[in-house]
Amino acid sequence: MKKSIKTFATNRKASFLYALETRYEAGLVLQGWEVVAIRQGQINLANSYISIKNSEAYLISAHITPLKTCTSETASPERPRKLLLNRRELSKLTGATAQKGMSIVPLRLYLKSGKLKLEIALAKGKKNYDKKQSLKEKDIQREQLRSLKDFRRNE
């Protein structure tokens, strides 16, 4: 039996700005209106990041647009949202950010088995020359695909 995974938001800038290493899956503590808004695609992970405070991880500055039908006066679109990780994962993340100077970035938000999950990764910031190199590699791959399509058309 296949588990269906539906992706609601991705952080496309993360793979360009950071060298991604270890990936983790985390649950989120959300309010009711936030779940409905996410299912309608009203979320943006572009400038968000993960912060660890008091041995707990939080998703900071992820924008969830409140619904027009939301009656809650406390509907804050960019409030910190707690991540659900086990103690071992939290200690690994804390150690890597403290000692190695790494960052924790959110990659994508998806629905798995009826629950919203956030994929996060330990990441190291890329230098400008690394970014240029990754753009060159992307262009080369795109060019190879184009030439392959042209080759198949001419057969």
Q: Tokens representing 47?
A: 């400038």
pLDDT at 72: 62
Report the distance separating Cα 154 and Cα 19, nearest Å. 39
Q: Which of 108, 64, 111, 57 is nearest to 87 (CA)?
A: 57
Residues 128, 134, 138, 144, CA torsion sign: positive
pLDDT at 58: 94
Domain ranges of the chain: 5-126
Q: Residue ranges of the chain with pLDDT lower than 70?
A: 1-3, 70-74, 155
Q: Which of 18, 15, 65 is nearest to 38 (CA)?
A: 65
Q: What is the dihedral of CA 132, 60, 46, 137, to 10 degrees?
A: 30
pLDDT at 73: 63
pLDDT digits (tens, 9 = 90+) for 85-127: 999 999 888 888 888 878 899 999 999 888 899 999 998 877 7
Candidates 3.30.2090.10, 3.40.50.720, 3.30.200.20, 2.40.280.10; CATH matching 5-126? 2.40.280.10
Alpha helices in 18-86 (DSSP H): 32-39
pLDDT at 76: 78
CA 131 to chain centroid, in Å, comes to 19
Q: Tokens representing 81?
A: 């949202």
Report the distance separating Cα 72 and Cα 86, nearest Å. 31
With beta carbons less than 8 A apart as the criterion, state whether 49 and 105 touch: yes
pLDDT at 130: 73
Length of the chain: 155
